[in-house]
Amino acid sequence: MGFVVIYIVEDDVSVRDAISRMFESLDLYCTAFADGESFLSHASPRVDDIVFVDLHLPGLAGSDLIEKMAALDEAPQIVAISGQPLWKIERDLPKISPTPVVRKPLKEQDLLAYV
């Protein structure tokens, strides 16, 4: 495994900033986006990279973004983030079934388990 980029796609500025700062404090390279459209326009995740995606995004839904990334020939590792009730997460799971989900409020050890 080479240089790993951790991508964060999260519309909540404070959550996005907190996750970024946590990874950067561990000397990990991290880049963040406020929505799926920006991510698709500006990011080029590789198979060794990790993408944390909030399921509840404005515009392109997080589950749809995950579905697009999972369809790539060399998809990155994808981890969903959600503060939604369990029934809403389960509603989206058929689209993203192999994708692990980290629940909000986020804990550092839950995020680091995927790095």
Domains annotated on the chain, with CATH: 5-112 (3.40.50.2300)
Rounded-to-integer distance, Cα 62 and Cα 84, Å = 12
Rounded-to-integer distance, Cα 71 and Cα 19, Å = 26
pLDDT > 70? residue 87: yes
- Cis bond leading into 85, ω under 30°? no
- Residues 84-90: what's their mean pLDDT? 88
For residues 99 and 78, the answer to whether their CB atoms sit within 8 Å is yes
pLDDT at 95: 65
pLDDT at 91: 83
- Residues 6-32: what's their mean pLDDT? 97
pLDDT at 86: 87
CA 50, 56, 60, 62: dihedral to nearest 10 degrees? 30
- Residues 31-55: what's their mean pLDDT? 97
- Average pLDDT, whole number, for the chain? 93
Higher pLDDT, 31 or 99: 31
pLDDT > 60? residue 79: yes
- DSSP letter, residue 27: T
Distance of CA 47 to the CA centre of its chain: 14
